[in-house]
Structure 1
Amino acid sequence: MDQNPEKTKVLILGGTGEMGQWFTRFFKERGYKVTVWGKGGKTEIARKLEVPFASDLEETVPVSDIVIVSVPINVTEETIAEFAPKMKVGSLLMDFTSIKVKPVEAMRKFAPSDVEILGTHPMFGPTIRTIRGQTVILVPVKGRSERWFPVIKELFEEGGAHVEITTAAEHDRLVSVVQGLTHFAYISIGTTIDRLDFDVKRSRKFVSPVYDIMLDFVGRILGQNPYLYALIQMENPGVLEVHDAFIRECEELSRLVRAHDEEGFAKKMKAAARQYGDTAHALRKSDKLINSRIAEYETILNSVGKVCGFSHFYSGKIHVGTLEKVGPDEIVLTKLASKGTSPHIKNKLVKLKLENLRLLSESELWEWRKENLEHSTRDISVLIPQGADPEVILNAINTNKQLAACEISDIYRGFNRIDYKGLSRVETEKERKKAEELAVTYRITIFGDCNADSVESEVIALLCGLGCRIREKNLERKT
């Protein structure tokens, strides 16, 4: 078995689906040779991903080193039954299903004994940009996961994921609450709002931080593939027991409210808090989440009139420009003209939804401006004081945040030819010292969205303040 990524062939069954596409990019970025297949035959998605589409699985499956099943839960077992027997000796069969008992059993049953199997459940959706910080659950099977299991575990961990190892039975029991209860509760809130014909948009005008975050999570679930969420509820046998407990508790709490039984209600909450455990930790974490949202919004508000950068969560597109206006839900930006921008779209005003944006850090904004703007370059030649270090002066110039770069382009000594005739001893010594001064040319690159003349003047003022003398004849300008 060859575990060199560049020689490892990965076939993703369901690779044209959203999660399949996500992992196609993941494996491809790490050097694996990825091929995708989807029941709908969407070869255009394969072209977009720049990977082959498996038009003939009878040929592709037997030559693949890793086969990943990333199809809907209700067809996972039949997909495994159809293609697992065709896999080659020493290869690996994985599934990305939200349940584990049935898929693992199917892989154990239908994959040849010399094919390894590994149950896998990424605990995140395709809208997440990176695996870093995410949880991936692995279900190795004794005697069937020895060679490939450490390879896959290391692959995910090197990407920054937290890998959790468990059994298929424990996975399904825990996920019946982690996903089954969570999704059920949020979807129930959404359907309740629908039943009440409640104006969600208007309610946000009376919002509390907790309600605002809850609405976002409800909307996040409701905006996903409803068939996927239906199957998560219906295919895990443990979910029904969770539903029964949830419904009974809702009914019991409602009964206590109707009876105005404050003590009974409080007793229920206290018992739940004891079972929950560290509620203080939960309070601190939720406060951190709430405060981070408030802090980012405050930062954006305080940036009106300044150049800001925003990254779009889903498209990955970067928007940089002068922030003109900030509202509760959107911002108005005058976009900066990047290299190659057509004249008719320069200084274009754009409106962007805040929920889709992440504010770029200062370093990210600096990098974008450096790479994307047209800059001005100016050469400033100076005589530096005796004993001064040109590099230290360079570091001082580089503190100017309006500079994309600054470097020493030239450095030399003794450029003057002096006639000492008629000079006194003091004057001669003075002229000799001047002749021995270092002449340094600093080349500054000024961001394209800054006033080049003004920035140059600032740098000259700094140099003079450090005791340098400007060589006016050698002051050059380049644009």
Structure 2
Amino acid sequence: MKMLIIGGTGGMGQWFTKFFLHHDYEVIVWGSSGKTEIADQMGVEFASDLDKAIAEADVVIITVPIDITARVIRETAPKMKQGSLLMDLTSIKAEPVNAMKEYAPEDVEILGTHPMFGPSIPTLQGQIVIMSPIEGRCDRWFPIMHDLFEKSGAHIEIIDPEEHDRFVSVVQGLTHFAYITIGTTFKSLDFDISKSRRFMSPVYEIMVDFVGRILGQNPYLYAHIQMKNEQVLKVHEAFINECRLLSNIVKEQDTEAFCNKMTEAAAHFKDTASALHRSDKLINSKIAEFEEMIASVGKERGLLHNYSGVTHVGTIEKVTPRTVTISRGDRTVSLRTENVRLLSDAELKKWKIGNLTHPVRDISVLIPSGADPETIEKVISCDESIVSVSIIDIYSGISDDRLSTTYRITILGDLPAAKVQKDIENMLYGLGCSIRGHDPI
């Protein structure tokens, strides 16, 4: 299957390029920026002739900014071949689906799609993908795409475009509007957010992190989500009206009115107990990570800096609610606790394998008669001190019919090589092997 992704050099375009490559599609990308180097990095072709690529593609995906999606559909759809599929990955659905219905020939199928995630997620596992198939316009391709996403772990929601936009006007429109407004209120108050973290509760910390997460994204994307969905302004009006009502209740010191408002909202919300449970899990996970950092004082650990991507490995010296100090040799670094993540033991070993220089040792043994050299190789590889092991020589010319086998072991670079070698030799001795040249101690 040939696929063209228009906008394929952007964040979501790159994510879906890699996804469809993994599922054996032949992917070509195009982007208005002309960044052919991004296509090269992904190992795909950049469409030098866009019209030709459109005409030859079995599937064309549009993943461009919301404000130009309808125009790109209008320019692309008429050039597509019979039996092909046109789909978009836009945060609104009514406008792009209507554009596809208007401009795509009758023999071209169309599928409105909205992935409810960003390009930072590693896989589709557990993610929601919304689809808006139009009856009679996606009979062949809808089952194919539905099954592909679902088998990759996604949860598929089917909804018509107008209903999608009504829900998303709250799910995204209200949520983003509220968080961005909190951020602009911080600015208006000249409020010191960093200093406020000294007095934070877990709920406040999580809220501030979500505000920062939104503010740190592409502002044009969020502007278009607010401005291109016709349902959003009604949501804004309701939200602002409720803000005024509550503010007036507070101003008038009307405790009963405030409590009634909150009680009525809780009754409408319905399942506050489950919400409390889920939010407790989120809060407790943050607390648990901090407690693990404290328990790691004096131990070797790895810390991944979430923003720079740099991994710091060393001994944890000190942990406070604000900073964690780690040292290695004569170098000591203090990092903000909210900016780092503890590596698991497996992740730490993987980092060491990729970043340290590892000594190599050869061990020659006589293995017991009838024993399998490869089975012994697998036993050696299970030792946590070993990066890799291989058989480099087998010789059968021994008088007692035992095989002489030489194992080449690569030892983790920060461990004492001589001790690890001796430990492996003793392990081999325990398996009935004889170490050629000397006896184990």
Q: Counterpart of 1:92 in structure 2: which amino acid?
A: L
CA distance in 2, matches of 1:43, 1:468: 59
Change in CA separation of 1:148 and 1:262 when aligned onto 2, cut-off 3 Å: same
Aligned residues: 438
Q: Deviations over 1:363-392 (max 9, x none)?
A: 3333443455414436385999x9x99999
Q: Deviations over 1:332-387 (max 9, x none)?
A: 5567xxxxxxxxxx987666665454433223333443455414436385999x9x
Structure 2 residue 93 is the aligned partner of structure 1 residue 109:
no
Counterpart of 1:422 in structure 2 is none
Counterpart of 2:413 in structure 1 is 448
Q: Deviations over 1:91-131 (max 9, x none)?
A: 11011111111111110110000000000111112233333
Percent identity between matched residues is 53
Matches within 5 A, 1:106-185: 106-185=99-178
Structure 2 residue 228 is the aligned partner of structure 1 residue 244:
no
Mapped contact 2:361–2:421 kept (Cα < 8 A): no
Counterpart of 1:287 in structure 2 is 280
Matches within 5 A, 1:205-244: 205-244=198-237
Q: Give the TM-score taking structure 2 as reference length.
A: 0.85
Mapped contact 1:12–1:20 kept (Cα < 8 A): yes
Counterpart of 1:273 in structure 2 is 266
Q: Deviations over 1:290-324 (max 9, x none)?
A: 11122222223333444433455567x56262234
**Mean Cα displacement is larger for which, 168-177 or 319-328?**
319-328
1:474 alignment partner, SS class: coil
Mapped contact 1:446–1:452 kept (Cα < 8 A): yes
Change in CA separation of 1:155 and 1:357 when aligned onto 2, cut-off 3 Å: farther
Change in CA separation of 1:126 and 1:350 when aligned onto 2, cut-off 3 Å: farther
**Mean Cα displacement is larger for which, 294-303 or 216-225?**
294-303
Change in CA separation of 1:263 and 1:309 when aligned onto 2, cut-off 3 Å: same
Structure 2 residue 314 is the aligned partner of structure 1 residue 322:
yes
Mapped contact 2:5–2:27 kept (Cα < 8 A): yes
1:36 alignment partner, SS class: strand
CA distance in 1, matches of 2:118, 2:291: 29
- What are structure 2's unaligned runs of at least 5 residues? none
CA distance in 1, matches of 2:327, 2:363: 31
CA distance in 2, matches of 1:375, 1:309: 22
**Mean Cα displacement is larger for which, 96-105 or 33-42?**
33-42
Structure 2 residue 7 is the aligned partner of structure 1 residue 14:
yes
Counterpart of 1:377 in structure 2 is 361
1:117 alignment partner, SS class: strand
Q: Counterpart of 2:235 in structure 1: which amino acid?
A: V
Structure 2 residue 326 is the aligned partner of structure 1 residue 362:
no
CA distance in 2, matches of 1:301, 1:165: 46
CA distance in 2, matches of 1:86, 1:440: 66
Q: Give the TM-score taking structure 1 as reference length.
A: 0.79
- Measured on the aligned residues, the alpha-carbon RMSD in Å equals 3.7
Counterpart of 1:93 in structure 2 is 86
Counterpart of 1:341 in structure 2 is none
CA distance in 1, matches of 2:363, 2:244: 77
Structure 1 residue 190: deviation in Å? 0.7
2:29 alignment partner, SS class: strand
Q: Counterpart of 1:288 in structure 2: which amino acid?
A: K
1:10 alignment partner, SS class: strand
2:170 alignment partner, SS class: helix
CA distance in 1, matches of 2:361, 2:327: 25
1:126 alignment partner, SS class: coil
**Mean Cα displacement is larger for which, 467-476 or 161-170?**
467-476
CA distance in 1, matches of 2:293, 2:123: 25
CA distance in 2, matches of 1:311, 1:158: 31
CA distance in 2, matches of 1:408, 1:450: 22
2:45 alignment partner, SS class: coil
CA distance in 1, matches of 2:376, 2:225: 63
Change in CA separation of 1:115 and 1:44 when aligned onto 2, cut-off 3 Å: same
CA distance in 1, matches of 2:354, 2:410: 12
Mapped contact 1:381–1:474 kept (Cα < 8 A): no
Q: Deviations over 1:58-82 (max 9, x none)?
A: 2221111111111221221121111
CA distance in 2, matches of 1:329, 1:63: 56
Matching residue within 51, 64, 85 for 1:58: 51
Structure 1 residue 221: deviation in Å? 0.6
Change in CA separation of 1:467 and 1:158 when aligned onto 2, cut-off 3 Å: closer
CA distance in 2, matches of 1:383, 1:69: 62
1:450 alignment partner, SS class: coil
CA distance in 2, matches of 1:314, 1:54: 32
Structure 1 residue 195: deviation in Å? 0.8
2:46 alignment partner, SS class: coil
Structure 1 residue 179: deviation in Å? 0.3
Q: Counterpart of 1:319 in structure 2: which amino acid?
A: T
